[in-house]
Structure 1
Amino acid sequence: MLPRERLEIIKEIAIKEKKVYVSKLSKKFDVTEETIRRDLEKLELQGVVTRSYGGAILNVDKTNEDVPFYKRSRTNIESKQYIALKAIEFVKGGSTIVADCSSTVFEALKLIRNRNDVTVITNSVEVLQELNQSELNIISTGGGVDQRTLSLQGPITQNTIKKYNVDIAFVSCKGMDINKGILDSNETEAEIKRAMIKQSNKVILLVDHSKYDRTSFVKLFDYEDVDYVVTDIEPNEEWINLLHSNNIEVIY
């Protein structure tokens, strides 16, 4: 098992059980207790847990992004719909789009469901279910199904994405930090999003105000990888300066 895979499993255990113990994890993964302590230190640096004597305790306020898609889709829905309206202004006739499995991107795709001149490549199970009868030309990435995120993941997913060159990448994230960059909660999903932006001429990040100054588990990509940020509320001066310094156009 790779270290990052072990780290992801430890995170899942922490979310489920609220507390983890070094000795139990050491036996479970057949590694030394010192290795587990280093893993917990990494999770603490990401804001997932707080280390305590003999283990670590879950930081509930830092992991609320790890909720199922159906719950996330009902959070800040008005903000997401506003962002979606702004985002689809980029969609021209004949556009090709690669779209992640986020609820905000899903709202944008719903608004162009009658566009028969647009092709969408996506790993979103929700898009495949809800928009399969739409006018959109939808290409599924394939892959294994993650029930919590309602996404397709794995090597098949990444290999499919790499076959296409597209005009636009619609992606979102779980958090944005001035110093740490653009963040997400799942390493596997982050790898898929990185593949998406590499195949795109224009990267558009759809993010509501709750994502600013918010940490998450894994680095997704740097600000310099993004062309546009579409958001619901004008960011503060510090954020505006940072985004503009990376040649990102901010739309709100």
Structure 2
Amino acid sequence: MASKDRISLIKQLLINEKKVSVASLSEQFSVTEETIRRDLDKLEAEGILTRTYGGAVLNSEETVSNIPFYKRAEHNVEAKQAIAFKVREVLESVHTIAADASSTVMETLKLLKDREDMTIVTNSSEALRELMVSEVNVLSTGGILNKRTLSMQGDLTERAIENYNVEMAVISCKGIDKQVGATDTNEVEARIKKIMIAQASEVMLLIDSEKFCKKGFVHLSNIDQINHVVTDKKPSDDWIDFFTKNNIQLHY
């Protein structure tokens, strides 16, 4: 078995089992424990896992972008729906948005189906299916389909987004930190989101309460680029003060 295939299977085992051991993987794949340790080192460098004595555990927050879309969509559904209802209220007077391919943003798009005055630019292939019967105008970026994330990616996708100026970029992230800003784990997706941010007059960050004070591997945006933060529950007082001082409108 090729190294990349073995690593891919180890990643899937982590997603399913949350933890793995060097000894069991060595036996399962008929390779030395040293080979497995090197595989785990590579996955740790990608932010997929944290090494432990004799094995590794899944970094669930940091690896959510590597989990298939429908599996991600099932995670923390109530929080995503709570965020979506609040986003719909904030977007009442907004007519053009750029929407990323995240499952959290997808919950929002489901609530905008009756907005015949709304135009959505998105790289989400799932959005095309979901909004096929709706009143909204949908502009698909096109590009190379990532079948795991159900998102369009590549140069064509990025150039398409650059053709449109929108009122609001509606994006999610994997973490927000007061010093670093918003971060993500998938470099390709982060690059697309950065272009959406650049093409938007305002930026709305959708983030559930679990992701405050968390940092992903890839930088997404500085704090001063964010205009709105929408979350599922009231953040701590220090975060509320932080958003106020940085002129960020908080919605929960």
Q: Shorter-chain-normalised TM-score: which range?
A: 0.7 to 0.9
Within a 5 Å distance, the mapping from 1:15-26 to structure 2 comes to 15-16=11-12
1:86 counterpart = 2:86 = yes
Confirm or deny: 8 A CA contact 2:144 2:153 kept in the other structure: yes
Distance 1:160 1:175 in 2: 27
Within a 5 Å distance, the mapping from 1:76-225 to structure 2 comes to 76-92=76-92, 95-225=95-225
* SS at 1:210 equivalent: helix
Distance 1:25 1:198 in 2: 41
* SS at 1:139 equivalent: strand
The percent of aligned pairs where both chains have the same amino acid is 40
Within a 5 Å distance, the mapping from 1:48-63 to structure 2 comes to 48-50=49-51, 57=56, 59-63=58-62
Deviation of 1:111 after TM superposition, in Å, equals: 0.9
Structure 1 stretch 204-213 or stretch 120-129: which is displaced more? 204-213
Within a 5 Å distance, the mapping from 1:8-47 to structure 2 comes to 15-16=11-12, 43=46
Distance 1:194 1:175 in 2: 15
Distance 2:180 2:53 in 1: 25
Deviation of 1:87 after TM superposition, in Å, equals: 0.8
1:6-59 CA distances to partner (integer Å, 9 max, x unpaired)? xxx999676347679997999x9xxxxxxxx8x78854xx57443989xx9464
Structure 1 length normalisation: TM-score? 0.78
Structure 2 length normalisation: TM-score? 0.78
Change (3 A) 1:112 1:199: same
Q: Partner amino acid for 1:188?
A: V
Pairwise CA RMSD: 3.2
Confirm or deny: 8 A CA contact 1:96 1:166 kept in the other structure: yes
Structure 1 stretch 151-160 or stretch 77-86: which is displaced more? 77-86
1:34 equivalent in structure 2: none
Change (3 A) 1:22 1:250: farther
Distance 1:62 1:206 in 2: 15
Q: Partner amino acid for 1:15?
A: K
* SS at 1:204 equivalent: strand
1:130-163 CA distances to partner (integer Å, 9 max, x unpaired)? 1112111000000111111111111111000000
Structure 1, unpaired ranges of 5+: 1-8, 29-36
Confirm or deny: 8 A CA contact 1:80 1:208 kept in the other structure: yes
* SS at 1:247 equivalent: coil
Change (3 A) 1:24 1:76: closer
* SS at 1:91 equivalent: helix
Confirm or deny: 8 A CA contact 1:171 1:205 kept in the other structure: yes
Distance 2:7 2:247 in 1: 35
Confirm or deny: 8 A CA contact 2:88 2:108 kept in the other structure: yes
Change (3 A) 1:226 1:10: farther
Q: Partner amino acid for 2:210?
A: S
Within a 5 Å distance, the mapping from 1:207-246 to structure 2 comes to 207-246=207-246
Distance 1:102 1:82 in 2: 15
Structure 1 stretch 148-157 or stretch 94-103: which is displaced more? 94-103
Distance 1:192 1:113 in 2: 24
Structure 2, unpaired ranges of 5+: 15-21, 26-32
Confirm or deny: 8 A CA contact 1:41 1:51 kept in the other structure: no
How many pairs were matched up?
A: 232
Q: Partner amino acid for 2:67?
A: V
Confirm or deny: 8 A CA contact 1:11 1:48 kept in the other structure: no
Deviation of 1:79 after TM superposition, in Å, equals: 1.8
1:226-246 CA distances to partner (integer Å, 9 max, x unpaired)? 100011111112222332232
